[in-house]
Chains A and B, each alone.
Chain A
Amino acid sequence: MSTLARRSPSQTHRALTADDMEALAIGAWILGTGGGGDPYHKLLNMRQLYAEGRSVDLIDPMALPDDAVVAVLSNMGAPLVGQERLADPEFAVKPLRMMEEHLGRKFDAVMALEIGGGNGLHPMMVAAMTGYPVVDADTMGRAYPEAQMTSVAVAGLRCYPLTMADIRDNEIIFPRAASWRWMERISRKACTEIGSVAATCKAPRTGAEVKQHGILYSVSKAIDLGRKVAQARRAHADPIEAVLEAGHGKLLFTGKITDVERRATEGFLRGKAKLEGLGPDAGSDMVVHFQNEFSVAFKGDEPVVMTPDLICLLDTVSGEGIGTDVIRFGQRVSVLALPAPEVFLSEAGLAAVGPKAFGFDIPFKSVFEGASA
């Protein structure tokens, strides 16, 4: 029973518009920090669903009753496979129904595993199909490659059960796993077997858990970011400036890509992009490393920005996000840092998603250190 959406008028929930979806797609792609997949296909689906008269309600996480049960949804797999398989709302709903059957109860609301990239729009499709409201929160505040890299994993919450669906009639339930890392390993194997793409419903969260450990208001933040970029484009103003302002970010470098090196190791896309400075950065270089998402950037031997600070490479002209799977020679990009969610700056947070978790033996230092944030 979806009672939450109807419970009160006013501030606790609002109906998202078709324009909000357009803005969300832009904002989520920026917060994807190079990963999470291009939101375009999911945006197309949302346009169709809204044209059919469906819509999505966004609810304030703080309005969730402690015992509410929230579905954490994502699409898992290789973005490249997504480029061929596209995205289908019917299919995205399947794991949610499987989970409801497994739990023997209905959900109260849905939310995104990660706000970054296409997964930021994934629960929107499910919500438009089912009528469940979407919680204004996620568990990353961005995109990260692995299951243990979430606020709920850092908090030590339960990692199971997980349900997974294939477009053929294959359904997989993971009733239990020893740890977040085990859940990551086992589910990744199954995902690979069914075509390296799967719709999933992660371990459900209670209202109390979301309120205490979720990354709150990340959907509103992404929509706001996207809207500011769209406004800047329409006004022929600088969209990079708009991102910096709306996201409280720092511009670190402006340049063009002179080389991209990629390699697949342990199931991830790792590599680095070299940039040559333009304008005020003329004469200097930058190297940005990535593991699906951008992780650390160096000027010479000096690390200048690192995860969990968000490292965004944006098209200098349009402000559009650029994915690590499509970044290429000659692109003109601006490198920005946006502040990380608080939870990842703790000792446990840094252990899960700090530079060491991505193979860099350097101490974490935020570009926002000393700033009021």
Chain B
Amino acid sequence: MSTPMKRIGIDVGGTNTDAALLDGSKVLAAVKTFTTADVTSGVRAALKELVAKAGPAAQGVSAVMIGTTHYTNAVVERRNLGRAAAIRVSLPASASLKPFCDWPADLAAQVVGGVHLVHGGHEYDGRELVPMDEAEVAAAARAIRAEGVNAVAISATFSPLTAACEERAAEIVRNEHPDCHVTLSSALGRIGLLERENVALMNASLIELARETTQAFVDAVAASGLNARLYITQNDGTVALAEAAREYPVFSFASGPTNSMRGAALLAGIENAMVCDVGGTTADIGCLVNGFPREANNVVEVGGVRTLFRMPDLLSIAVGGGTIIGSDPITVGPRSVGYRLGQEALVFGGSTCTSTDIAVASGLIELGDRSKVAHLDPAFVKAALAKIHENVAESVDRMKTDATEVPLLAVGGGAMLIPDRIPGISEVVHVEHSNVANAVGAAIAQISGETDRIYRDVERDEAIAMARAEAVESAARAGADPATIKVIDVEDLPLSYLPGKAIRTRVRVVGEAAALAPEAAE
């Protein structure tokens, strides 16, 4: 990977905020700090520490790329979510399965800010299903306003094919309810009304948090004195400009593990391996194929909600640096002290025995005050460590699909908890800076563009060419240097039972972030 620019990657996790400065693929400096409840001060502190550590090397940084699990955590932990209303343009179709119909009840209770179904939508070939009833849309918008709900997700049948209904509905909503934020499902992707709508609704419920968080990032970068463009990393290991990412928090859902795995590949110089990323709360085990995470087979659920995202295939187990270790009988997790590790762990003067304390007591790592764990019974320490090792080894074996032995990349702040020998693993590779692999992964992210549309009455090659052009355009809009854009995935699906030639084509492209040219800065 040759990236001739200096970039800073930052990963804001539930426990730690990590930052790394890279020149091309070389790590110049890296720091690890604690995440703060307000996010901003943690990012500001990490940047300040990194710039100080790098010294003159910090000159000429052109991009800061931030990855965060903030939005996923909000959904999973059901906090900081806003209320969102749904307007679905689909009647007379799909009336029985209303928006939110497959959400977990506790999440729906927090988020549902009204459900409105109106007449309209499209057929598979872009024709109108029935004419859209604009009066119904306006009435829905007024009801949403009266309810005091300020975020709306609009979906319509076959909107990935033509967004005309959704766009017109958005116009009507903005007229009736000017303070309302509108998320269109067509902007989020693919065929599959329920899943696309779910993603749009989650996006709407996160929009307030995304605006605050993105502003926190912008402020932190500004305060650091760097003159750099701010990017937010996405699920697939690519980035979007902060201005664009602010509108689509859902695209950042899986960016944490993706960054960590891609960072590990770069740091180790190994593109095919198992990866075990031990964070504060969990260890995520995945598989790297040609430098990218292997993706999950199935529909991906986020906080219990079905989505269409392609996400890394991960097995998460309750083994992390903050995992609480119980005695008599010896237990490992599942609870963790999370971001309070710095206060609650024994070695930091707290009163909770965590796996970090076990690691310090076993001499695996120097951290905090070792004398604070001197009282632990050596037999207990040994047994607890053995149990942690057993959990990790078992899970690695479950995720491995290769019959031959492969290396395992040990990553993350809790990497010392990974055993040296694991069945089926040729070697456990601990690489330099591996504790900030996620920040490194963020820094090397590229800018992507994607289209997924149905083309009618054209040859396959033509359809792919048209899709490619659209994808390139969307990548360039997101800040990719057009000269570096290349296709990474082409998928085409002729549609069964449809007349004539109908072909669904998905093209995905990536390119390097464009340098800060004056005309591109806008």
Contact = CB atoms under 8 A, between A and B. Distances in A.
Interface string A305-317: 0000000000101
B403 A279 contact: yes
Contacts of B217: none
Interface residues of A, number: 45
Nearest to B127: A195
A39 to B, nearest CB: 13
B294 interface: yes
- Binding site of A, secondary structure by majority: helix, strand, loop or mixed? mixed
Contact of B298 (A77, A315, A325): A315
Nearest to A89: B96
- Binding site of B, secondary structure by majority: helix, strand, loop or mixed? loop
Contact of B497 (A48, A191, A332): A191
Contacts, number: 115
A317 B297 contact: yes
Contacts of A263: 494
B93 interface: yes
A45 B97 contact: yes
B185 to A, nearest CB: 11
A90 interface: yes
A373 interface: no
B481 interface: no
B295 interface: yes
Interface in B106-131: 123-124, 129-130
B455 interface: no
A269 B94 contact: no
A168 B93 CA distance: 8
B188 to A, nearest CB: 14
Given A83-B191, A84-B192, A89-B96, A264 B294 contact: no
B92 interface: yes
Contacts of A88: 93-97
B160 to A, nearest CB: 9
Interface stretch (B61-69, B205-213, B320-328, B499-507): B499-507
A320 B298 contact: yes
B97 A87 contact: yes
B129 A195 contact: yes
Contacts of B191: 80, 83-84
A78 interface: yes
A211 interface: no
B386 interface: no
A268 B497 contact: yes
Contacts of B194: 41, 86
B193 interface: yes
B223 interface: no
Contacts of A90: 95-96
B493 A192 contact: no
A232 interface: no
A315 B297 contact: yes
A296 to B, nearest CB: 18
Interface in B155-205: 157-158, 191-194
B491 interface: yes
A84 B193 contact: yes
A227 interface: no
List the 3 closest pairs (A to B, CB-CB), nearest first. A264-B494, A269-B496, A86-B94
8 contacts: A77-B497, A83-B191, A86-B96, A86-B194, A88-B93, A264-B503, A267-B499, A278-B403
